[in-house]
Amino acid sequence: MKRFLLGLALMAPLGLVHAAGAAHAPTSNIKPYDTAAGKEAATPCGACHGADGNSTDPQYPRLAGQNPMYIYKQLKEFKSGARKNAIMMAQAQTLSDQDMLNIAYYFAKQPAAVSLAKPEGFLAGQKLFRGGASERGVIPCAGCHGPTGAGNNAAGFPKIGGQHPEYIRSQLMAFRSAGREDEGGVKRMNDTKPGDKGPMQMVAAHLSDEDIALLSNYVSGLHGK
């Protein structure tokens, strides 16, 4: 596979990569992409996310191995302002739709580093992740993100396994804040309709601070494959 991808990169100057990329797209309505151009366009991103998408500073999410359709969707939403973050809204402003697709596939194809979960609370986190807590309205995370946290590219469910625990925590807090009427702080809304509550806002609304701590630790240690 590595060799084949390298082959694609070398074919780029011949203009052959577009057709090859399209053949590898997960669904037939996905536009062609070019990972060599994506690498080039991702140069400024490396300062925070790492050149290969394996950021070392835990406030910046790892993008290596992330599902490409999820990366693409987030970039579009930062550009439109549907997902709010001052740094990323500025970063996405100058990217074209094709740049976003190219960058998404470039990062998606990089091997991902994984965090090491702490043993304290690991089993409690696992129980919540796999089974939820029906008495409190917490549905199992594994139902959408998969038992290893790999997500589902076609469905737009992100890979969360191996992500920095600090980043996972910040996002769960922001989803919860968006899912509850009575909570302030940074809100991560979902899609294009203002005030629209997607699955994560609804799921996170039922999480306690303790749940968020347990889940962030557990998920960070999953390999996401």
How far is the C-alpha of 26 from the C-alpha of 194, rounded, in Å?
A: 29
Closest contact distance (angstroms) between CB of 195 and ligand HEC is 15
How far is the C-alpha of 82 from the C-alpha of 25, rounded, in Å?
A: 25
Closest contact distance (angstroms) between CB of 21 and ligand HEC is 18
Please, which residue, 143 or 147, has the CB nearer to ligand HEC?
Answer: 143
How far is the C-alpha of 225 from the C-alpha of 112, rounded, in Å?
A: 10
Closest contact distance (angstroms) between CB of 14 and ligand HEC is 26
Closest contact distance (angstroms) between CB of 12 and ligand HEC is 19
First CA to last CA distance, the chain: 16
Closest contact distance (angstroms) between CB of 11 and ligand HEC is 24
Please, which residue, 19 or 196, has the CB nearer to ligand HEC?
Answer: 196
> Which contacts qualify for 32-35: CB closer than 8 Å, 24 or more apart?
33/68, 33/98, 33/101, 33/102, 33/104, 33/105, 34/102, 34/105, 35/5, 35/8, 35/9, 35/102, 35/105, 35/106, 35/109
Please, which residue, 18 or 197, has the CB nearer to ligand HEC?
Answer: 197
Give me the residues that bind ligand HEC (CB under 6 A), please: 42, 44-45, 47-49, 59-61, 63, 71, 73-75, 85, 87-88, 91, 103, 138-139, 141, 143-145, 156-158, 160, 168, 170-172, 190, 198-200, 203, 215, 219
Please, which residue, 7 or 94, has the CB nearer to ligand HEC?
Answer: 94
Please, which residue, 21 or 132, has the CB nearer to ligand HEC?
Answer: 132
Contact 61, 55 (CB under 8 A): yes
How far is the C-alpha of 10 from the C-alpha of 35, rounded, in Å?
A: 11
